[in-house]
């Protein structure tokens, strides 16, 4: 018998969620589709919250491992580095689009699910800041995480409606918002000091 594979289970979760919706997804459906017994799946993921946490953990590992190398190039302007790091995340979402869209749609109707997702946003943006060589600690780092989180949520609304193959509208929205943010930062005393 094949050993229980967590990646296979999580991939199956996204597939079934994309077909059935997150609210209607059951462990039995996932187990049957993945070729495992329900107790085997439950032994790894005793509930939907555990599944969501595992999906988020895996997503962050992939986002860190596959980030565009330009995001880490200190010779590039900050907006370009942030664009590359954040766009990596949307490209990962796109690979399992139907499943992630189903989860996000369910979260809109479930305040507890939304709050659980939001608690993961700040650490995720901290990773983006570290990938791009920007500080994520202290009061300024906290502010950066919050601003980038709001920016990503805004771009997410575009991605949810973006049916293009190349994610052109998503890229355009991300680029526009990052440039607007750069202009705002440049107009502050810290930004003027940085540029001088």
Would you say residue 153 lies in a domain? yes
SS3 for 132-154, per residue?
CCCCCCHHHHHHHHHHHHHHHHH
Between CA 12 and CA 120, with CA 155 as vertex, the angle to 5 degrees is: 55
Would you say residue 196 lies in a domain? no
**pLDDT at res. 189:** 67
**pLDDT at res. 39:** 95
Would you say residue 22 lies in a domain? yes
Contact between 69 and 78 (Cβ < 8 Å): no
- CATH number, domain at 97? 1.10.357.10
Would you say residue 195 lies in a domain? no
Would you say residue 56 lies in a domain? yes
Would you say residue 125 lies in a domain? yes
Long-range contacts of 8-13 (CB under 8 A, 24+ apart): 8/34, 9/34, 9/36, 9/41, 9/44, 9/45, 10/51, 10/54, 10/55, 10/58, 11/96, 13/51, 13/55, 13/99
Would you say residue 73 lies in a domain? yes
Domain of residue 167 covers 6-189
**pLDDT at res. 194:** 54
Q: What is the pLDDT of residues 175-195, one digit of tens each?
A: 999 999 999 888 876 555 555
Would you say residue 31 lies in a domain? yes
Structural domains counted in the chain? 1
Contact between 92 and 66 (Cβ < 8 Å): yes
Q: What is the pLDDT of residues 13-45, one digit of tens each?
A: 999 999 999 999 999 999 999 999 999 999 999
């Amino acid at each position: 018998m094949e050993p229980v594979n967590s990646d296979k289970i999580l991939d199956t979760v996204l597939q079934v969620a994309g077909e059935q919706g997150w609210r209607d997804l059951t462990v039995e459906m996932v187990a049957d589709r993945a070729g495992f017994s329900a107790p085997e799946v439950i032994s790894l993921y005793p509930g939907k919250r555990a599944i969501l946490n595992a999906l988020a953990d895996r997503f962050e590992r992939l986002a860190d491992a596959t980030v565009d190398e330009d995001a880490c190039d200190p010779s590039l302007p900050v907006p370009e580095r942030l664009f590359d790091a954040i766009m990596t995340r949307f490209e990962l979402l796109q690979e399992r689009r139907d499943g992630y869209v189903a989860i996000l749609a369910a979260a809109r109707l479930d305040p507890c699910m939304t709050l659980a997702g939001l608690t993961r946003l700040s650490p995720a943006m901290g990773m983006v800041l570290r990938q791009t060589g920007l500080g994520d600690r202290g009061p300024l780092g906290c502010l950066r995480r919050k601003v980038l989180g709001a920016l990503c949520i805004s771009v997410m609304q575009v991605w949810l409606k973006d049916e293009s193959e190349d994610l052109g509208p998503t890229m355009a929205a991300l680029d526009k918002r990052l440039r607007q943010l750069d202009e705002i930062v440049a107009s502050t005393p810290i930004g003027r000091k940085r540029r001088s």
